[in-house]
């Protein structure tokens, strides 16, 4: 109704913009508007210089790529720039056509952002809990499988399968991190969200990340041990008990998370993990004179990995709170670099080409 023949454009933009959450839809909508605006500007520039023709199309795509690169646009916005420019050029560019496209894009993005609030039945915090729980349970299951394998006597092929599964778990970390960041950001500006809950879930997301990394390291250690002949029979039972204790502690911690997002796990379970590790250390020290030094070092490293998992479960390690966690990948953002950072970079470049006597004015 607002723009002639704008309904189709608005519908396309709405379908492309709507995402699983209000936060992601808003970001996607901003990317659509930014890409559309730049595409229209590049289209006008190309037509003004070269007129309408085949050369204009090629130059437009080239200029769009240069502009997206210069402004450090992420994947969200950079794809929209050439697409918008070509669509605007296609029917014969006019100022009225460009204004209608921008207006239709705004309408479509606004509709998508409005309805994305109901796009998913759970809140960002609820989705964060689900992802943390899923990753935690998969880690616990893998530790349980490794425990049974160590007790029964595992082969190099089995250890390789464990390591492959552990690597797949690590690949899930960026997704959990991005969801935890979204929950925290959402809670800061949305009135119905609980900021304390979001911060707690963010800490749990960091903790499960550390846990998964230790699970992968344990799988790698067992694989290296299998390559060098396997774990000595004298220590298999203690190692299996320690891995089993870790598996049970992680599962119990996930159960508490699902029942009460702010609840804490049973400290006795993490103490059982540490006790099992200490018993393994005592056994290794007692038999050190008869053990292969390399295998002994690997078994000792398992104890360190289990201790880190215990620290992650009860969140007692300073590494969880005192070290900054990377945000989501730059390519997922609308702008890979913030406008302030881009401004500082451009200012430095401009200063380099200006005579020294004039630089003091910049």
Q: How confident is the model at residue 139 (pLDDT cuts 50, 70, 90)?
A: very high
Q: Is the pLDDT assigned to residue 146 strictly greater than 90?
A: yes
Write the pLDDT tens digit of every residue in 288-343.
666 677 778 888 888 889 998 998 888 888 887 777 776 655 555 555 555 566 66
Q: Say if CB 273 and CB 246 are below 8 A apart.
A: yes
Distances (CA, A) of 84 to 26, 87, 91, 241, 263: 19, 5, 12, 61, 49
Residue with the larger pLDDT of the pair 57 and 132: 132
pLDDT at 209: 92
Tell me the sheet residues that pair with 335. Answer: 73
Dihedral sign of CA atoms 279, 285, 286, 292 in order: positive
Average pLDDT over residues 83-103: 66
- Give residue 244's pLDDT band: very low, low, confident or very high (50, 70, 90): very high
**What share of the chain has pLDDT > 70, as a percent?**
75
Asked which of 146-150, 280-284, 306-310 is least confident by mean pLDDT, the reply is 280-284
pLDDT band at 218 (very low <50, low <70, confident <90, very high): very high
Domain map (residue ranges) of the chain: 7-118, 124-321
pLDDT band of 57, cuts 50, 70, 90: confident
pLDDT in tens, 233-243: 878 888 899 99
Burial annotation 83-92 (CB, 10 A radius, 16+ → b, else e): ebbbbbbeee
- Residue 90 Cα distances to 47, 52, 107, angstroms: 12, 10, 21
Q: How far is residue 26's CA from residue 41's CA, in Å, rounded to a whole number? A: 23
Q: What is the pLDDT of residue 359?
A: 62
Question: pLDDT band at 273, cuts 50/70/90?
Answer: confident
Mean pLDDT confidence for 72-93? 66
Average pLDDT, the chain: 78
- Look at residue 276 and tell me whether its pLDDT is greater than 80: yes
> Above 70 in pLDDT, residue 22?
no
- Residue 96 has a pLDDT of 66
Write down the pLDDT at residue 123: 76
Mean of the pLDDT values across residues 147-171? 93
The pLDDT assigned to 248 comes to 92
The string of pLDDT tens digits covering residues 345-362 is: 667 776 777 777 666 655
Per-residue burial over 297-317, b if 16 or more Cβ lie within 10 Å, else e, is ebbeebbebbbbbbbbbbbeb
What pLDDT, on a 0 to 100 scale, did the predictor assign at position 192?
61
With 60 as the cut, is the pLDDT of residue 261 above it?
no
Better-predicted residue by pLDDT, 202 or 168: 168
CATH class of 124-321: mainly alpha
The more confidently predicted of residues 223 and 46 is 223
* Integer Rg of the chain from CA: 28
CB 23 within 8 A of CB 124: yes
Count of other CB atoms within 10 angstroms of residue 359: 11
The pLDDT, as a whole number, for residue 221 is 92
Say which residue, 217 or 56, is predicted with more confidence.
217
Question: Does position 90 have pLDDT exceeding 80, yes or no?
Answer: no
Does the pLDDT at position 280 exceed 70? Answer: yes
Taking only the tens place, the pLDDT of each residue in 178-215 is 888 878 877 776 666 677 888 888 888 889 999 999 99
């Amino acid at each position: 109704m607002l723009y002639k023949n704008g309904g189709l454009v608005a519908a396309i933009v709405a379908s492309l913009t709507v995402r699983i959450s209000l936060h992601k839809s808003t970001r996607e909508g901003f990317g659509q508007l930014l890409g559309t605006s730049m595409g229209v500007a590049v289209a006008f520039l190309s037509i003004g210089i070269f007129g309408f023709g085949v050369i204009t199309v090629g130059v437009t795509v080239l200029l769009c790529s240069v502009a997206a690169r210069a402004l450090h646009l992420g994947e969200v916005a950079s794809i929209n720039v050439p697409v918008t420019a070509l669509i605007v050029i296609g029917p014969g560019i006019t100022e009225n056509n460009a204004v209608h496209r921008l207006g239709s894009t705004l309408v479509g993005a606004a509709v998508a952002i409005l309805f994305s609030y109901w796009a998913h039945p759970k809140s960002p915090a609820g989705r964060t809990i689900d992802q943390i729980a899923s990753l935690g349970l998969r880690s616990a299951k893998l530790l349980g499988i490794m425990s049974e394998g160590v007790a029964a006597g595992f082969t190099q092929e089995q250890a390789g399968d464990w390591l492959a599964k552990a690597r797949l778990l690590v690949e899930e970390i960026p997704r959990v991190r991005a969801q935890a960041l979204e929950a925290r950001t959402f809670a800061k500006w949305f009135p119905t969200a609980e900021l304390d809950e979001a911060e707690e879930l963010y800490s749990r997301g960091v903790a499960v990340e550390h846990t998964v990394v230790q699970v992968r390291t344990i799988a790698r250690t067992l694989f290296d041990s299998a390559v060098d002949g396997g774990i000595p029979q004298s220590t298999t039972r203690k190692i299996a008990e320690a891995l089993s204790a870790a598996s049970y502690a992680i599962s119990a911690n996930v159960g508490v998370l699902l029942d009460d997002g702010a609840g804490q796990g049973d400290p006795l379970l993490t103490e059982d993990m540490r006790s099992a590790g200490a018993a393994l250390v005592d056994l290794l020290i007692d038999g050190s004179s008869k053990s292969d030094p390399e295998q002994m070092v690997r078994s000792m490293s398992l104890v360190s990995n289990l201790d880190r998992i215990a620290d992650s479960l009860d969140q007692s390690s300073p590494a969880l709170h005192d070290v900054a966690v990377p945000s989501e990948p730059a390519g997922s953002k609308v702008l890979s670099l913030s406008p302030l950072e881009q401004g500082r970079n451009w200012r430095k470049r401009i200063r380099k080409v200006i005579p020294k006597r004039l630089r003091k004015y910049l």
